[in-house]
DNA sequence: CTGTTAGCGCATTCAT
DNA sequence: ATGAATGCGCTAACAG
């Protein structure tokens, strides 16, 4: 027995099969494409045998070249580290499976340059469409896609000046849902923590909806209006993060002093943190744990959009996104475009689900 | 301004560029392949201009068809939900980037049938090699790869009867490291919890090394020998999980009774759980939390191979795998094979790193 | 029903 | 230094 992985032998081609079966390439091609009705049972059997004998597998590249379509779609991901992304991916894969598409997954790892490169690469591989969940999405880097280029659908964020379908969370409703939950539970000092808005529309929408919900609240309830703040945390920059967290710490301490031991059992004594997504929430939780110890939740309340597995483990209230469906719908939209559907650009906003855990209760 | 994403216009081909530049296709091809020395500066400039004007991008599929190589490699993943997988992927991507390869990522989502399907698909797309981290890996389903088929390298697990390179954690050393850590910290009732071995060699190795470390320990230390148990937990089957966890619960209760309040401050009073990987650890932690409340770590100690982000958050001791390097090395190996290296099959075992946190201390 | 022919977009001889 | 011709593996008219 050899212990050396041997070199690849040449694979059989359609010509080999034709010769082996004693027929022409056309018949083989017909067989491959399931046009059985036009093949005599006898020929069909011979072809079958020849294919089996040669272990023949049609070359998709060649087929694609000829047909002008290769059933490949690109899936551009900003950050696989974010559980949201993986979950969306599951939906994408399921839909692709169902529709006979093959997703080419590209992971930009939060690097704008990578995004550009992958987009270009996908183009040269002639993918039939692209699903984009990217970081530095601008009309400019997305030029090759959407409008003039190959069909595209955006996930979780839209891009100014780019006319494409898009599917994602109903950010306004979700942010409002979360804010209301906090208000209803008596928190009156709420901090919305979010990564830099940049081009990411979903972050802007969430923050805006948060502020609106805070404003609206005063009128509806008789009590003293709760205050809302926004903290921008650039997770990519350790220094900025440190500065932001320090600001938060001061606020937390101030609140504790103001209420004193008297209010210690009321949620009014705790500042509530509303994380715009899981990465932010994780950053906050880690910091709070090192600062206040394992019992940090007694000092600060945390609520997050996204529902990572550690949320259940640590009892953090979340707003779960319909991630699977988001991915599935994205592929469906894209598929329709690939098939030539010409309707106006669509927005598909799916609702989030509030999952109440101990972190926001008392 | 139109709000309808317009259909894809035909992309320029090499022929279009040739015509636009007033030359033959050959020169364009030469330009694309960087054979600048054979082109007059004048022609070169004209080609450059034509390419820019037409926004021409060479069709990789066609190039691949002609050359017989398309720079595509397959990356078969068993479970993207496992943070280990995502981390390995980062290394794979970096290496691919460096070596001019394009990874086709296939996610089997723990379904053996999916694996088969993807492997077949990769074959038809004529990828030049495959990196496999699959679940139901058997010599049989991997037939198209390795030995007789396209070059392959296995990640995290080897397969009997399949001669390929493989790279992964030094499982024996890691399991021993973890066991020793627990023994050294005074635990004398240790449960190794692992998913069904099936064909996954790494699970077998870890469990075996655990048992050996337990056996060896008695001789080396003067004290009473610690006991070791193995619990197999099939995460895919809720019922089996429930049964396994119930068994664990009984053991935990029994240990608590035996030691009584007297030993409550000693680690001997706590059972230690050694999770073979992160998914198992998460399952255990979730169960323990619901059973014993937020303070479950006072009752049970947990140690896990893999270092998911929630480990830091909950203070769980782990053995971190050199995931990035594993992925990187895998691609390097594969690249060498693709380039025709014929050395004997190699095993690359990388060491894990013990990260001590509160869960295993007192 | 079946085989022949002509490309798909590109790289590669081989001439010029 | 440049271009014409040939073929990669396959599909799609077009004949028989």
Interval A330-357: pLDDT, tens: 999 999 999 988 899 999 999 999 999 9
Cβ-nearest to A6 among B60, B147, B289: B147
Structure tokens at B24: 């033959």
Question: Dihedrals φ, ψ of A243, to 5°?
Answer: -65, -45
Predicted confidence band of residue B113 (pLDDT cuts 50, 70, 90): confident
Average pLDDT score over chain A:
90
Residue A17: which nucleotide is closest by CA–C1'?
D9
pLDDT tops 50 at residue A132: yes
- Closest of A158, A182, A184, A183 to residue A169, by C-alpha: A158
Smallest CA-to-CA distance from A5 within B321, B161, B250 is with: B161
Query: With 90 as the cut, is the pLDDT of residue A131 above it?
Result: yes
d(CA A38, CA A153): 39
Question: Are the C-beta atoms of B330 and B99 separated by less than 8 Å?
Answer: no
Looking at chain A, the whole-number percentage of residues with pLDDT higher than 70 is: 90
**Per-residue pLDDT, B65:** 93
Q: In this complex, is the C-beta atom of A4 within 8 Å of any C-beta atom belonging to chain B? A: yes
On the CB side of A253, how many CA atoms lie within 13 Å of its CA? 8
End-to-end CA distance of chain B: 68
| Average confidence score pLDDT of chain B | 90
Q: Which of A161-175, B267-281, B293-307, B345-359 has the lowest mean pLDDT?
A: B267-281
Q: At what angle do helices B83-99 and B323-338 cross, to 10 degrees?
A: 40
Give the pLDDT score at B162. Answer: 82
Largest CA distance in chain B: 93
How many interchain CB pairs under 8 A, A with B? 147
The beta-carbon neighbor of B70 closest among A61, A105, A148 is A61
Rounded Cα gap, residues B17 and B28, in angstroms? 7
Whether residue A233 is predicted with pLDDT greater than 50 in this model: the reply is yes
* Alpha carbon of residue A296 to chain centroid: 30
User: What pLDDT is recorded for position A1?
Assistant: 45
Nearest to B321 by CA among B303, B305, B302: B305
pLDDT at B112 over 70: yes
Residue B1 pLDDT level (bands cut at 50, 70, 90): very low
Distance B27 CA to C14 C1' (A): 15
Domains observed in chain A: 14-58 (no CATH), 71-168+324-350 (3.40.50.2300), 171-321+352-360 (3.40.50.2300)
Instruction: Give the model confidence (pLDDT) of B208-245 as tens digits.
Output: 999 999 999 866 555 678 999 999 999 999 999 999 99
Is it the case that residue B56 has pLDDT exceeding 90? yes
Contact residues for A206 (Cβ-Cβ < 8 A; gap 6+): A171, A172, A174, A175, A192, A194, A276, A305
Q: Locate B236 and state its tokens.
A: 């895919």
- Per-residue pLDDT of B37-49, as tens digits, reads 999 999 999 999 9
pLDDT over 70 at B3, yes or no: no
In order of A196, A279, B101, B208, B353, the CA distances from A304 in angstroms are 17, 10, 38, 41, 31
Whether the CB-CB separation of B240 and B234 falls below 8 Å is answered with: yes
Alpha helices for chain A (secondary structure H): 14-21, 25-32, 41-54, 60-67, 83-99, 112-124, 171-184, 201-220, 238-259, 278-292, 309-314, 323-338
What is the distance in angstroms between the Cα of A179 and the nearest Cα belonging to chain B?
25
For A182-204, write each residue's pLDDT tens digit. 999 999 899 999 999 877 889 99
Looking at residue A204, its pLDDT comes to: 94
User: What local confidence, expressed as pLDDT, does residue B220 receive?
Assistant: 57
pTM of this structure: 0.92
Q: What pLDDT is stored for residue A262 in this prediction?
A: 47
Sort out which chain B residues have CB atoms less than 8 A from A163's CB and list them: 2-5
A37 contacts chain B (CB < 8 A): no
pLDDT for position A136: 66
B34 touches chain A (CB under 8 A): no
Task: Give the sheet arrangement for strand B152-155, strand by strand.
Answer: B102-107, B72-77, B129-133, B152-155, B165-169, B347-350
Mean pLDDT across A44-66: 93
Please, which pLDDT band fits residue A257 given cuts at 50, 70 and 90?
Answer: confident
Specify the higher pLDDT residue, B150 or A148: B150
Q: Exposed (0-12), middle (13-18) or buried (19+): which is B65, by Cβ within 10 Å? A: middle
- What lies within 8 Å, CB to CB, of A112 at 6+ separation is A135, A136, A141
Which pLDDT value is given to residue B89? Answer: 96
In chain C, which nucleotides are within 7 Å of a protein Cβ?
A: 1-13
Q: Is the pLDDT of residue A221 over 60?
A: no
d(CA B307, CA A307): 19
pLDDT above 60: residue B108: yes
Question: For the segment A56-76, what is each residue's pLDDT rounded down to a tens digit?
Answer: 999 999 999 999 889 999 999
Answer with the residue of higher pLDDT: A293 or B219. Answer: A293
Residue B316 has pLDDT above 80, yes or no: yes
Q: Say if residues B337 and B314 touch (Cβ distance below 8 Å).
A: no
Q: What is the pLDDT of residue B262?
A: 47
**Measured between CA atoms, how close is A343 to chain B, in angstroms?**
6
Q: Does A80 touch chain B (CB under 8 A)?
A: yes
Q: Examine the pLDDT at A55 and tell me if it is beyond 70.
A: yes
**Nearest to residue A70, comparing CAs of A147, A107, A122, A146?**
A122
């Amino acid at each position: 027995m050899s212990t050396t992985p041997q070199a690849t032998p040449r694979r059989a081609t359609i010509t080999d099969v034709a010769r082996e079966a004693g027929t022409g390439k056309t018949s083989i091609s017909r067989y491959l494409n399931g046009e059985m009705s036009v093949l005599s049972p006898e020929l069909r059997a011979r072809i079958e045998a020849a294919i089996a004998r040669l272990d023949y597998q049609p070359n998709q590249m060649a087929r694609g070249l000829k047909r002008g379509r290769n059933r490949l779609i690109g899936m551009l991901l900003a950050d696989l580290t974010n559980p949201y992304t993986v979950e969306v991916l599951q939906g994408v894969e399921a839909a692709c499976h169902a529709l006979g598409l093959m997703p080419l997954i590209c992971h930009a790892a939060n690097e704008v340059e990578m995004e550009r490169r992958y987009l270009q690469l996908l183009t040269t591989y002639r993918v039939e469409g692209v699903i984009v969940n990217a970081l530095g999405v601008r009309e400019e880097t997305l030029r090759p896609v959407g409008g003039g280029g190959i069909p595209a659908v955006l996930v979780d964020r839209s891009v100014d000046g780019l006319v494409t379908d898009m599917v994602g969370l109903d950010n306004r409703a979700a942010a409002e849902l979360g804010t209301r939950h906090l208000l209803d539970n008596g928190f009156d000092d709420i901090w919305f923590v979010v990564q830099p808005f940049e081009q990411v529309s979903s972050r802007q929408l969430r923050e805006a909806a948060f502020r609106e919900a805070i404003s609206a609240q005063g009128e509806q309830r008789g009590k003293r209006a709760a205050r809302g703040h926004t903290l921008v945390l650039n997770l990519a920059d350790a220094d900025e993060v440190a500065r932001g967290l320090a600001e938060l710490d001061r606020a937390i301490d101030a609140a504790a002093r103001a209420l004193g031991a008297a209010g210690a059992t009321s949620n009014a004594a705790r500042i509530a943190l509303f994380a715009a997504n899981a990465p932010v929430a994780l950053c906050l939780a880690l910091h709070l744990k090192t600062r206040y110890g394992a019992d940090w939740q007694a000092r600060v309340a945390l609520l997050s959009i996204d529902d990572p597995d550690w949320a259940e483990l640590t009892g953090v209230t979340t707003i779960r996104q319909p991630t699977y469906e988001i991915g599935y719908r994205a592929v469906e939209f894209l598929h329709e475009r690939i098939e030539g559907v010409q309707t106006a650009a669509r927005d598909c906003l799916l609702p989030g689900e509030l999952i109440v855990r101990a972190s926001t209760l008392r």
